[in-house]
Structure 1
Amino acid sequence: MVQGFKPEFFGTANAFFLPQTLFTLVFVAILAAVGGYGTRYLALVSGLVAALFGALVGTAVPLLVAGQTLDGEVIAYLVGTLVGINLVFVLAVILASATVGRRVYAGVVFGAPDARGALAERRVAIIRRPAATLADGHVTHIEKSPIDLDLADEQWESYVNVLEKAGWTTIEVDQADDLADSVFVEDAVIIFGDVAMITSPGSEHRIAETEAVEVTVRELGLQVAHIVSPGTLDGGDVLKVGRTVYVGRSGRTNAEGIHQLRHIVSALGYTVVAVPLTKVLHLKSAVTALPDGTVIGYLPLVDDPKIFDRFLSMPEEGGAHVVKLSDDTVLMAASAPESAQLIENLGYRVISVDISEYEKLEGCVTCLSVRVR
């Protein structure tokens, strides 16, 4: 006769699952230490691996301590528990790894942002691995060129290595092979201190990119704001210089998107300056800024340089794009050696990286990461 579950059974159940839990935590810690929780898919795999090994080892150890021999009969019993008494345990660990585990991992690695800008001080860079369909990415102001996917992967790895060697901790948004342009993660989110503004991409092909990005910034503990339809706004159209936010009125960012941006960030102490844009895809395709706030750009692509308080013309198109790594160091594309020398002569250290395959898709060094700062 089947009996109902009685309170006195809790002790037996706890005693049975305690070893599994302890060993699973050990395996989780090992996998987390090697980056096993860097993305949601990795977290699922890590949860499965940790749960299986934890359940098997945790069940086997008490048997061996009790004098059992690890023979065929015992092994068959251990495997059988995975579809029996240990099955719920395994499923629970997998679910927890993909949800709570990711949040705990982010909290341990990056720390909880307990004050405005605290997370930024940890120098976090959000990145997204290029899609297998990268070659299908869209271009608007240049002719489409063939993309070498292997070279693109190598260049992305080199770019990430530069960030990490410069002291930035990188966190990956889940890869999306069905979203060709998703490697250009900058367009999906803009960071203002501890507020992450999820954009409203101006291309219908890119709207789905924001979903996984929002998951990532929430896991980092950032507050979230949204640009919503009918407003459109791409992150590549937004350039922050101190408390001034320049936003390009481009083919991807409309007046309603700028209006919503102004409403949200004015409450955070920023001033929004709209910039007419007709010659390039995004504002930061034409201009970026040095750490001292000087706006630099390639003059043939800039509609009106007088909009900016300080403007310095660069001799090459790729020279218009810099990523601030620190107060005295910037990252630039290898395609602009003359511009790099000019900036070095201003007292900055320049680190160059080859991103030729991304430049074929109207990308630049700013597009491939979002710095939490």
Structure 2
Amino acid sequence: MQQRPLPVPRRLAASALVALGVSAVSLAATVLVFFVTNGATAANLGPLTTYFLPAAIALLVFLFLAALVGAFRSWWGAALAGLLGGILASIAGTAYTVVSTGTAWSQEVTDYLLGSLAGTSLVFEVAAIVAAVTLGRAIWRAFPAADRGPVAIVRLPSDKLQDGELTHLERTAVDADLAQEQWDAYVSVLEREGFEIVQAEPAEEHPDSVFIEDVVVMFGDVAVITSPGAESREGELEGIRELVESLGQRVEQITRPGTLDGGDVLKVGSTVYVGRGGRTNGEGIRQLRAIVAPLGYTVIAVPIKKALHLKSAVTALPDGTVIGFAKYLESPTVFERFLPVPEAHGAAVVVLGPDAVLLSSAAPKTKTLLEDLGYRVVTVDVSEFEKLEGCVTCLSVRIR
């Protein structure tokens, strides 16, 4: 999973604070446990602190290095850093204590040192793991990645793409090699247009996993992980939480019995249109409304029966005008400003900037229409994905 690192100055500061915080808490927790178990006598505080201080210092150094290389971008990385750091720091601290007394190194000393890992030092090791996963992660995440530009999250097509779900179209042969070429070209366009590309881990066992828009929806710094309407797609959620958290997003999630596909969610300013169709149900819409209402968004449910997703039928231009293929809609009047387009594949655009959009090359008439409105239109061939009811929006998740 490709994750965005902190810039060097912020990484150094974050690493130092993570290491200092986790080692200090680990030391304090360990001393407190032994202080209480030894009768809570004030005279014990000094010797206990002195005994565990070398291990805490060693832990600080280890965690600083671990944080520098990105261990705290994920919870499991933090847990591993806490585990290894706790063990190595305990060994170093115990070894220092033994050596500082002038004791000659021997097999007996080695046995004592190793035995202490499951004895005297065990509390310190456990404290290091818990503090790393909780406090360490919290400190790391408190540092924003940067004043970054737009990000596009993408996922490689599965070799099983041909077997993707179909609802409204007849199945036709998908050229896997051509699909890969088209995906590469699509990603290249986004990169040329200023998007930083972040790749989610491939999900080879899931044919539809390339349509990553369906599994997570962004609302500012909040990422809503969806509950796919097709049960075959539930496995695509794996790893998405860790990925979006690494990008600085706060995570919310739709849960069963609610279902929600990201392709059904169209944001126009503070209004969120949600398609109520085959993949998104009323409970999913209710949960989304409860999540985004406190963020200042208004959710409007839109019946959709003739297309797989709402955004297969309508999307929005940079100025907020909703464009769509009228034959796919039950009631275009639900949108405040609606502009019909002449081709089905012209209903979906990705906003590239205030005056530019990305459009399927299968919609030349729509391209002319949008250019006549003053937009720069970039086209890309996504024919192999359109055979599976995909479009230009569903191949990426954009964070601006």
Return the TM-score normalized by structure 2: 0.66
Letter in 1 for 2:156: R
1:124-163 alignment to 2 at 5 Å?
Answer: 124-163=151-190
Which of the two has greater helix per residue? 2
Structure 1 position 220, deviation (Å): 1.1
Residue in 2 that maps onto 1:69: none
Cα separation, 1, equivalents of 2:337 and 2:289: 22
Cα separation, 1, equivalents of 2:381 and 2:282: 35
Letter in 1 for 2:335: F
| Cα deviation 1:305-357 (Å, max 9, x = unaligned) | 00000000101011101000000010000000110010000000000000000
Letter in 2 for 1:361: L
Question: In the alignment, does 2:262 pair up with 1:231?
Answer: no
Residue in 1 that maps onto 2:213: 186
Structure 1 position 218, deviation (Å): 1.2
Structure 1 position 113, deviation (Å): 3.2
Given the superposition, is the C-alpha separation of residues 346 and 230 from structure 1 closer, same or farther in structure 2, using an over 3 Å criterion? same
Query: Secondary structure in 1 aligned to 2:238?
Result: helix
Match of 2:298 among 254, 258, 271: 271
Structure 1 position 25, deviation (Å): 12
Residue in 1 that maps onto 2:372: 345
Give unmatched runs, 5+ long, in structure 2: 1-50, 78-131
Deviates more, 1:292-301 or 1:210-219: 210-219
Match of 1:215 among 233, 242, 265: 242
Residue in 1 that maps onto 2:226: 199
Residue in 2 that maps onto 1:246: 273
Cα separation, 2, equivalents of 1:215 and 1:285: 28
1:70-109 alignment to 2 at 5 Å?
Answer: none
Cα separation, 2, equivalents of 1:307 and 1:113: 38
Question: In the alignment, does 2:196 pair up with 1:165?
Answer: no
Given the superposition, is the C-alpha separation of residues 136 and 371 from structure 1 closer, same or farther in structure 2, using an over 3 Å criterion? same
Cα separation, 2, equivalents of 1:228 and 1:113: 28
Match of 1:255 among 282, 298, 301: 282
Aligned residues: CA RMSD: 3.3
Identity within the alignment, %:
56
How many residues are paired up? 287
Letter in 2 for 1:159: Y
Question: In the alignment, does 2:333 pair up with 1:302?
Answer: no
| Cα deviation 1:115-150 (Å, max 9, x = unaligned) | xxx76x520111111111111111100101111000
Residue in 1 that maps onto 2:345: 318
| Cα deviation 1:281-310 (Å, max 9, x = unaligned) | 100010000000000001111111000000
Question: In the alignment, does 2:140 pair up with 1:113?
Answer: no
Cα separation, 1, equivalents of 2:300 and 2:164: 30
Letter in 1 for 2:225: I
Contact 1:113 1:194 in 2 (8 A): no
Letter in 2 for 1:218: E
| Cα deviation 1:225-265 (Å, max 9, x = unaligned) | 01111100000000000000000001110000000111110
| Cα deviation 1:155-193 (Å, max 9, x = unaligned) | 000000000000000100000110110000000000000
1:50-69 alignment to 2 at 5 Å?
Answer: none
Letter in 2 for 1:187: D
Contact 1:287 1:298 in 2 (8 A): yes
Cα separation, 2, equivalents of 1:112 and 1:312: 42
Query: Secondary structure in 2 aligned to 1:216?
Result: helix
Letter in 2 for 1:368: L
Query: Secondary structure in 2 aligned to 1:267?
Result: helix
Match of 2:389 among 339, 362, 368: 362
Cα separation, 1, equivalents of 2:162 and 2:205: 12
Cα separation, 2, equivalents of 1:284 and 1:112: 34
Letter in 2 for 1:179: H
Contact 1:187 1:235 in 2 (8 A): yes
Contact 1:343 1:350 in 2 (8 A): yes
Letter in 2 for 1:354: D
Query: Secondary structure in 2 aligned to 1:207?
Result: helix
Q: Which has the larger radius of gyration?
A: 2
Query: Secondary structure in 2 aligned to 1:208?
Result: helix
Return the TM-score normalized by structure 1: 0.70
Structure 1 position 213, deviation (Å): 1.6
